[in-house]
């Protein structure tokens, strides 16, 4: 039997993590699981570790260590706990690591994985938004291969003339427009978390679903693209495409436009990164364009979705601005999901934090974390006032 590829999943219990496990479990002769991590979900983590016969399972919240040991007792799977243990899991030297922790909590583990010089499949967009230059540098220093998993960036990766940025005129990321694409601001005022999380095309974690509804997700993705594909921010654009079939477009200087298409199922870009540079089969519904019938495209509406403009301004300004934007957004989305602020308050809170706070461009991960922490404190204050 050919040697199996060793794989680890950071954020194994989430939406991307479980889709990754689904693919890995279909081809056990091809993949060997080293480490799986979660934050709180002991049961989900233990179940996945037992099913895949992982070497180690790590729970982020240290007080859940006992529960994890109990759940794994007699299996021979090592249990670990705490933030430091998640970083250790990222350093276990798997040939392929999925970085799928949500938020800047994923930054240290993702950096640790990049420093191993192996392959990192990157879903954790917030880390790239806040510390993109440092992460790209870490990959270059260690010789790691960074494969984008976010569907749009995975699409660009498949169309992009690698090493030849001057052949590209424009990169366009598509956005579904989210559940409120056609709603007025007045209609959006009273939307509930349940409505915001109900994405029309994709099934995803709560945080990114809210980001998709505000279009902040597309703004974060422009910043992500800026780090992954060095064409300059002025050559990055967004097109709303409600069917989510065309995931991104790469326009060449000769007028050719290359696009990647597929049914909206994260298992396609995950499989691309898992098998790369080869391909592997997936159970995704094949794309049937005759059945789809039509593909629509429209310009984004910056007036109804101000988060997108805030992100584009942060991208253009660079320095600490993307980290501040991201941290403020994480706090505001959590406040919205917790029922403390309204949907429209999310972008307003981010705008207020960006207006009140700036910092020198961070040059280390520790400096990014300082900026992130201060932006979070300011955002907590702003959202508390909004909640009052």
Binding site for ligand NDP (CB under 6 A): 11-17, 38-41, 60, 86, 100-102, 105, 123-126, 150, 202, 204-205, 207-208, 266
**Complex with ligand NDP: residue 334 or 347, whichever CB lies closer:** 334
Angle of helix 321-337 versus helix 365-387 axis, rounded to 10: 40
Assigned token pair, 81: 């706990």
Q: How far is the CB of 369 from ligand NDP (least distance, A)?
A: 13
Q: How far is the CB of 209 from ligand NDP (least distance, A)?
A: 8
Q: How far is the CB of 93 from ligand NDP (least distance, A)?
A: 20
Out of Mg ion, ligand NDP, none, what residue 171 binds, judged by CB under 5 to 8 A for its kind, is none
Out of Mg ion, ligand NDP, none, what residue 60 binds, judged by CB under 5 to 8 A for its kind, is ligand NDP
Helices (H) and strands (E) in the chain, counts: 17, 11
Out of ligand NDP, Mg ion, none, what residue 105 binds, judged by CB under 5 to 8 A for its kind, is ligand NDP
- Sheet holding 31-38: strands in order across? 78-81, 56-59, 31-38, 5-10, 96-99, 119-122, 145-148
Do residues 202 and 144 touch, judged by C-beta distance below 8 A?
no
**Complex with ligand NDP: residue 105 or 168, whichever CB lies closer:** 105
Angle of helix 65-72 versus helix 42-52 axis, rounded to 10: 30
Between CA 163 and CA 172, with CA 169 as vertex, the angle to 5 degrees is: 95
**Complex with Mg ion: residue 46 or 216, whichever CB lies closer:** 216
Q: How far is the CB of 265 from Mg ion (least distance, A)?
A: 13
Please give the Cα distance from 320 to 360 (Å, whole number). Answer: 6
| Site residues, Mg ion (CB under 5 A) | 150-152
Please give the Cα distance from 5 to 7 (Å, whole number). Answer: 6
**Complex with ligand NDP: residue 41 or 251, whichever CB lies closer:** 41
Closest CA relative to residue 362, chosen from 377, 354, 372, 351: 372
Q: How far is the CB of 155 from Mg ion (least distance, A)?
A: 9
Out of Mg ion, ligand NDP, none, what residue 13 binds, judged by CB under 5 to 8 A for its kind, is ligand NDP
Q: How far is the CB of 88 from ligand NDP (least distance, A)?
A: 13
């Amino acid at each position: 039997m050919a040697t199996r590829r060793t794989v680890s999943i950071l954020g194994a219990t989430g939406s991307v993590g479980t889709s990754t496990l689904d693919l890995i479990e279909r081809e056990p002769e091809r993949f060997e699981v080293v480490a799986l991590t979660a934050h709180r979900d002991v049961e989900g983590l233990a179940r996945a570790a037992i099913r895949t016969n992982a070497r180690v399972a790590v729970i982020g919240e240290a007080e859940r260590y006992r529960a994890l040991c109990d759940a794994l007792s007699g299996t021979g799977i090592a249990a670990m706990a705490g933030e430091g243990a998640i970083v250790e899991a990222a350093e276990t030297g798997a040939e392929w690591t999925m970085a799928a922790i949500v938020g800047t909590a994923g930054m240290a583990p993702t950096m640790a994985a990049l420093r191993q010089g192996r392959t990192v499949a990157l879903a954790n967009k917030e880390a790239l938004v806040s510390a993109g230059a440092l992460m790209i540098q870490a990959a270059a220093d260690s010789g790691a291969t960074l494969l984008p998993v976010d569907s749009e960036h995975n699409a660009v990766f498949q169309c992009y003339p690698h090493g030849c940025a001057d052949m590209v005129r424009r990169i366009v990321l598509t956005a579904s427009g989210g559940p409120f694409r056609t709603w007025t601001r007045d209609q959006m005022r009273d939307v509930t978390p349940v409505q915001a999380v109900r994405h029309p095309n994709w099934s995803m974690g709560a945080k990114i679903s809210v980001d998709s509804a505000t279009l902040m997700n597309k703004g974060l993705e422009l910043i992500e693209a800026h780090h992954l594909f060095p064409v300059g921010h002025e050559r990055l654009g967004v097109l709303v495409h409600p069917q989510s079939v065309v995931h991104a477009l790469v326009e060449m200087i000769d007028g050719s436009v290359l696009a990647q298409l597929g049914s909206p199922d994260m298992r396609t870009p995950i499989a691309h990164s898992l098998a790369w540079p080869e391909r592997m089969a997936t159970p995704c519904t094949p794309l049937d364009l005759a059945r789809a019938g039509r593909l629509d495209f429209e310009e984004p509406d910056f007036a109804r979705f101000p988060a997108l403009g805030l992100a584009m301004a942060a991208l253009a300004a660079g320095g600490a601005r993307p980290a501040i934007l991201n941290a403020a957004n994480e706090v505001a989305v959590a406040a919205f999901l917790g029922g403390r602020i309204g949907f429209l308050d999310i972008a307003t809170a981010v705008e207020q934090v960006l207006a009140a706070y700036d910092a020198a461009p961070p040059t280390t991960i520790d400096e990014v974390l300082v900026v992130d922490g201060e932006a979070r404190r300011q955002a907590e204050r702003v959202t508390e006032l909004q909640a009052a």
